[in-house]
A and B are shown apart, each in its own frame.
Chain A
Amino acid sequence: KAGVTQTPRYLIKTRGQQVTLSCSPISGHRSVSWYQQTPGQGLQFLFEYFSETQRNKGNFPGRFSGRQFSNSRSEMNVSTLELGDSALYLCASRKDSGKRDTQYFGPGTRLTVL
């Protein structure tokens, strides 16, 4: 069974630009969550999507947004990029058949903002 895939793996942008990252969950998984990983703040939850609806949101500014499609694939968008947005962005999927489902992570997208 294929794992969670994320594209692109690496991205370089300049301040003020916007970026879109993509995540394809494991087949049959209906929930997708996004996390930001930085050396200073560690792993922080961005948001979670289920059935094309945002179910949960972390404490990030409105420049960070996401969506989920009917096939459960998800995208996240960051507008007006800042230097501090440089990070590894991780996507995780779970089946969402119960409260204790395990989340499986993708390899991440490394975003560098210059």
Chain B
Amino acid sequence: GDSVTQMEGPVTLSEEAFLTINCTYTATGYPSLFWYVQYPGEGLQLLLKATKADDKGSNKGFEATYRKETTSFHLEKGSVQVSDSAVYFCALLHGSSNTGKLIFGQGTTLQVKP
């Protein structure tokens, strides 16, 4: 079945460092891909998305490119801030049916130190 694998955390960075969180997926067809972020005590917020191969999603300085050849959707940010500390989830939505079933990776905790 469909699945998403994220790099294990926690990831600890200093402020202004470069961030990469790896995400790979297994799915038939052409899924849509998402990054969600969860701050302590809150629900999930959509960070960015991409719906087809080679699409680049971007928001708040974060970027991710849908790479079908490597089945990847890695999250990057050039300069992280303390306020980016959160848990990041990669997710896919199967493209072949009108379903709302998101499949999530296990989440990666990011801690940014001043």
Contacts and interface: CB of A to CB of B under 8 A. Distances in A.
Interface of A: 4, 6, 31, 33, 35, 42-43, 45, 48, 50, 55-56, 58, 90, 92, 94, 96, 98-108
Contact of A100 (B32, B44, B91, B105): B32
A56 B89 CA distance: 22
B104 interface: yes
Contacts of A102: 34, 46, 49
12 contacts: A35-B102, A43-B91, A48-B100, A56-B101, A58-B101, A92-B102, A99-B95, A102-B34, A102-B46, A103-B100, A104-B46, A107-B43
A90 B38 CA distance: 12
Interface of B: 32, 34, 36, 42-46, 49, 51, 89, 91, 93, 95, 97-107
B61 to A, nearest CB: 20
Given A42-B104, A45-B103, A102-B49, A107 B42 contact: yes
Contacts of A107: 42-43
Contacts of B49: 102
A18 B77 CA distance: 44
Most A CB within 10 A of own CB, among B32, B101, B104: B101
Contacts of A6: 43
B42 A48 contact: no
Contacts of A42: 104-107
Contacts of A103: 46, 93, 100, 102
What are the 8 closest A-B residue pairs judged by CB atoms, nearest first?
Answer: A43-B104, A105-B44, A105-B43, A107-B43, A33-B100, A48-B100, A108-B43, A100-B51
